[in-house]
Amino acid sequence: GAGVSQSPRYKVAKRGQDVALRCDPISGHVSLFWYQQALGQGPEFLTYFQNEAQLDKSGLPSDRFFAERPEGSVSTLKIQRTQQEDSAVYLCASSLVGGGFSNQPQHFGDGTRLSIL
Amino acid sequence: EDKVVQSPLSLVVHEGDTVTLNCSYEVTNFRSLLWYKQEKKAPTFLFMLTSSGIEKKSGRLSSILDKKELFSILNITATQTGDSAVYLCAVEGSAGNMLTFGGGTRLMVKP
């Protein structure tokens, strides 16, 4: 597609429910990133994929957070047993190449605004 | 741990004014510094800077990097109401391909 596409745009869930957020990167982009953005703050890194391989998950805040990209294109971020502190905008980004000094910027989707009641 | 600090936190100007936004950073094995504009949706890519002293320019926006003093500035001349947004600075270092972002500068341009 023309840009990074994320769905849903908004998600409201009750505390304790599981949620799944989808990211469809720009066609042909090797690298895919997930970030969490709290209100009034800059995005914070969660996890990184190069094709289907999850190369870095150091930013995932707990084992309730899980991400996958099984075929190297679409990715899903799953949050189990949601808590109120999970409320944030979840941004997905993709870039053309992966690894090393790529000199390629990350391009972001519009994000999913998650609200936990 | 990589760190990015932006200043000012917020800024209110009138149309036609020139603004300068600041970004200082600490990063292990610097690779690049990026500027993004964020309105209500996706951060939109503005500039990627890798070399000191080389100005990047796009219309009324320009940016420059100083790798010795570890900072970058983003200039916007002849501001317009459409420039109102949060401007984010981010660095890419050796921690991986991820970006470390500053907290952003919120710019409001009044008619």
Sign of CA dihedral A48, A49, A53, A55: negative
The secondary element (H helix, E strand) that includes residue B26 is strand B19-26
Distance from the Cα of A31 to chain B's closest Cα (Å) equals 9
Residue among A48, A101, A102 minimizing CB distance to B98: A48
Per CB-CB distance under 8 Å, the chain B contacts of A50 are: 97
Q: Is the predicted pLDDT of residue A101 greater than 60, yes or no? A: no
pLDDT tens for each residue of chain B, 111 residues long: 889 999 999 999 999 999 999 999 999 888 899 999 999 889 999 999 998 888 999 999 999 999 899 999 999 999 999 999 999 999 998 666 789 999 999 999 999
Instruction: Please answer yes or no on whether A108 and B100 come within 8 Å at the CB atom.
Output: no
Query: How much is the pLDDT for A2?
Result: 80
- Name the residue with higher pLDDT: A105 or B1: A105
Residue with tokens 């971020």: A77
Pair B6, B71: CB distance under 8 Å: no
B interface test, pick of A23, A94, A106 with most B CB neighbours within 10 Å:
A106
Rounded CA gap, A76 and B5, in Å?
31
Per CB-CB distance under 8 Å, the chain B contacts of A110 are: 41-42
Query: How much is the pLDDT for B52?
Result: 86
A interface test, pick of B49, B99, B106 with most A CB neighbours within 10 Å:
B99
Residue among B41, B96, B102 minimizing CB distance to A42: B102
Rounded CA gap, A33 and B53, in Å?
30
Chain A residue nearest residue B37, CA to CA: A108
Question: Which SS3 state, helix, strand or coil, does residue B8 take?
Answer: coil
φ and ψ at B19, to 5 degrees? -125, 150
What number is the average pLDDT over the span A19-32?
95
Rounded to a whole number of angstroms, the CA Rg of chain A reads 13
Tokens of B92: 């890419």
Bin A72: left if φ > 0, else alpha if -120 < ψ < 50, else beta: left
The pLDDT tens digits for A48-76 are 999 999 999 999 999 999 999 999 999 99
Give the DSSP per-residue string, B36-75.
EEESSSSEEEEEEE-STT--EEETTEEEEEETTTTEEEEE
Amino acid letter, A110: D
